[in-house]
Amino acid sequence: MLPRIADSLSFLYADMVRIVQDDTGVCAHIQANDNRTDTVYIPTAALSCLLLGPGVSITTRALTTLARHGTSVVCTGSGGVRAYAGILPDSLTTHWLEQQVAAWSDPDRRLDVAIRMYGMRFGDEEVPDNITLKQLRGMEGQRMKALYKILAQQHGIGRFRRNYHPDQWHAQDPVNLALSAANTCLYGIVHAALLALGLSPALGFVHAGTQHAFVYDIADLYKAETTLPVAFALHQSSNPEQEARRRFREELRLLRLLPRVVRDVQTLLTPDTDTERSERNDIDMVHLWDPKAGALPAGVNYASGGD
């Protein structure tokens, strides 16, 4: 039985290595300072996702083995904080993608997921019954203004206003620069987790109109406790972008964010399912769709007995 995607050992990050396939399995060749090459074998069958950082080269034979074992491969930035490209194996189940599409295509279910997303962001606050999405957006806007004010007071900053102007990037103040850089790192982590689950980053429930809509949806759940404190702490930095990326990466080691992202996404898409027991291969990899039964076993001859 393959491990659950939410298990922390299901994600492996590597950088500055050459990944090859030898007679034993997939291994990483690490060049030491004394020109010695160390070999570390990668447990491909026990991995849900392999994150390839800067300086990695990988052979086609190694990629073939990873695909055969059902391991997703994601090309990332340093520390796995950005996702640039993803390769999904043929054996990856479509279970979570089907759940996402079913919820996204039904207006009532989509609204329910969006409301529960806002509920996660409010934390312990009670979300009123029969509240509209417009009202929730207003509540969230007021919440963010209050959070900005609290963080600004804590760091001795005057009035803060969130500004994001890509065409005037370097004209922004240090807090806005640091926040934009840290958010980009957070988007990369969420993107990698969604790809590992086989989900579509484009089908968002709150955001829409971009290939990263669902990435923005999920990342918003964690900004208040991750990127915002980092950004405000760098209000006097001379290089806020670089320092934000480094500090954010260091704090990730304590947050264990990837397993949390996976668990929250699964809970949002299937709120009535025990995600702790949901295994990666908990359904047949191939089945037939039926409008009444839902899913029927594949590999079965459904011809009538008289034929």
DSSP at 286:
S
Evaluate whether 182 touches 226 at the Cβ level (below 8 Å): yes
Evaluate whether 66 touches 28 at the Cβ level (below 8 Å): no
What superfamily does domain 8-87 belong to in CATH? CRISPR-associated endonuclease Cas1, N-terminal domain (3.100.10.20)
| Whether residue 300 has pLDDT greater than 90 | no
Give the per-residue pLDDT at 121: 85
| Whether residue 4 has pLDDT greater than 60 | no
What mean pLDDT, rounded, does the chain reach? 83
pLDDT in tens, 106-150: 999 999 999 999 888 877 566 777 888 888 889 888 989 999 999
| Whether residue 281 has pLDDT greater than 50 | no
pLDDT in tens, 75-94: 988 877 777 887 776 656 78
Topology given in CATH for the domain delimited by 95-269: Four Helix Bundle (Hemerythrin (Met), subunit A) (1.20.120)
Looking at residues 59-73, what average pLDDT do you find? 88
State how far the alpha carbon of 56 is from the alpha carbons of 15, 37, 220, in Å: 5, 15, 30
Distance CA 146, CA 164 (A): 19
Give the start-to-end residue ranges of the domains of the chain: 8-87, 95-269
